[in-house]
Structure 1
Amino acid sequence: MDWLSEHAWIAWTTIAVALGIAEMLSLDLVLIMLAAGAAAGAVSSTVSPSVWIDLAVAAMVSVSMIAAVRPPLVKRLHSGPELTTGHSALVGRKGVVLEPVGEYDGRVRLAGEIWTARCFEPGTTIERGTEVEVFAIEGATAVVYPTD
């Protein structure tokens, strides 16, 4: 025990490194906060005579990091724009009619792909070359309407 009390900074540094490595596996940002507390304990052990003081410093730093630093950090990491993928990404995009689009059939070019299409307004036909906008995707058919 005498060696440990004289070299407590080594134990604290080992704990901090182990927690840092464990954080790389968990990615929850809790263990890295505990590692910061252990690092503070290592610094404290170089100047304080008592292991209890080191433990108190490590605990206070860990708790304050978890309470004050982690929440805004997690919020920042998890924020970002909603990404639309698949068919829903085509809604609102513009395309060009390749074959006249009627109530039941037609073809349009959307995002570099050729899609079967039908007109949003029943009884209407959209002529070739007309710019259209996608209202919805129903299965493999784009429901479109002219942009003009």
Structure 2
Amino acid sequence: MDWVVEYSWIIWLVLILLFVTIEMLSLEFTFLMLAIGSAIGLLSGLLGVPLWAQFLIAAASSVLLLLLVRPSLLRLLRKGADPAKSNVDALVGATGRVVQTVSGHGGQVKLTNGELWTASVAPDSTATSLEPGTQVQVLAIRGATAVVIPAERNAS
């Protein structure tokens, strides 16, 4: 037991390196807070605090960091995220015109972005089929099919 007390700084360094390594793989700031808490435990050990108190100090500081600092860091990290929708999410709400008669089972629409999509009429739509030239709006994307409604319905 004397060896553990005498070389506790090695245990702290190993924990810090382990937590930093895991943090580099996860990038969610949890293990960073644990690493900082371990560093505080290491500092308390270098100041002569007993081993049991070092662990209590490290645990308490880690919990405080997780509760107080981590949420702010996550907010700052996500602050610069691009709010623009992309891929399929960008198509929901898009408008277009029917190219080939669209029913509940199939058809084609050309969206305003120029893409040609297989389409079906939304099940809750009052229209059972949409003729070519009809203005439509995309409600959802299911697989490779755009679920559409007549654009007039959305205007009301």
Normalising by structure 1, we get a TM-score of: 0.58
Give the equivalent residue in structure 2 for 1:90.
Answer: 91
**Matches for 1:59-138 after TM superposition, within 5 Å:** 59-73=59-73, 86=88, 89-95=90-96, 97=97, 99=99, 108-110=109-111, 111-115=113-117, 127=133, 132-136=135-139
> Do the aligned residues in 1 keep the contact of 2:22 with 2:31 (CA within 8 Å)?
yes
Deviation of the 1:78 alpha carbon: 7.5
**Matches for 1:12-23 after TM superposition, within 5 Å:** 12-23=12-23
Unmatched segments (≥5 aa) in structure 2? none
CA distance, structure 1, for counterparts of residue 20 and residue 71 of structure 2:
18
Deviation of the 1:14 alpha carbon: 1.2
Q: Secondary structure at the match of 2:151?
A: strand
From the superposition, tell whether residues 6 and 85 of structure 1 become closer, same or farther in structure 2 (CA, over 3 Å): same
Give the equivalent residue in structure 2 for 1:145.
Answer: 151
CA distance, structure 1, for counterparts of residue 60 and residue 20 of structure 2:
18
Give the equivalent residue in structure 1 for 2:33.
Answer: 33
User: Among the aligned pairs, what percent are the same residue?
Assistant: 32
Output the aligned Cα RMSD: 4.6
Q: Compare CA radii of gyration and give the structure with the larger one.
A: 1
